[in-house]
Amino acid sequence: MQAARAARQMAEHLGFGRAQAYHVATAASELTANMAVHAGGGTLHLQPLTDNDGSIIGLEMRAEDQGPGIPDLDLAMTEGYSTARRLGCGLPGASRLMDEFSISSTFGQGTRIRAIKWCRHRPVDRS
């Protein structure tokens, strides 16, 4: 919840719209909860992304844990799949809330997730 609040404050501070700020906050909450449940905790880093000229272009979120790792990433990203008694939409849900989402996991060493929300008011070519 604190992660969600921090993420929302940062997003609003960076000039994101309210809906986007809520998306970022919910994704942060989703990733933190995921780490707490599956890895016994972890860290969530939030940082603004800037252009060469220093203007804000997005917000980056990195979730890192030293948990058991995710054996099958495709499965973990599948809608409705969960090893804990959950909805199974945490990771896929968080990825839909963010613009970029990448996940890497080493079995027995932990999981790293990097997600980005781009600022909408500034056209970013992402093709």
Give φ, ψ of 118 to 5 degrees.
Answer: -85, 150
Spatial separation of the C-alpha atoms in residues 53 and 31, rounded to whole Å: 31
Q: 7 vs 119, which CB is nearer to other proteins? A: 7
73: Cβ contacts below 8 Å, ≥ 6 apart:
103, 105
Does 103 sit near other proteins (CB under 8 A)?
no
Q: Please select the residue that binds other proteins; options are 33, 46, 49, 103, rule is CB under 8 A.
A: 33
Task: Tell me which residues touch other proteins (CB under 8 A).
Answer: 1, 4-5, 8, 18-19, 22-23, 25-26, 29-30, 33, 79, 86-87, 89-90, 92-94, 96-97
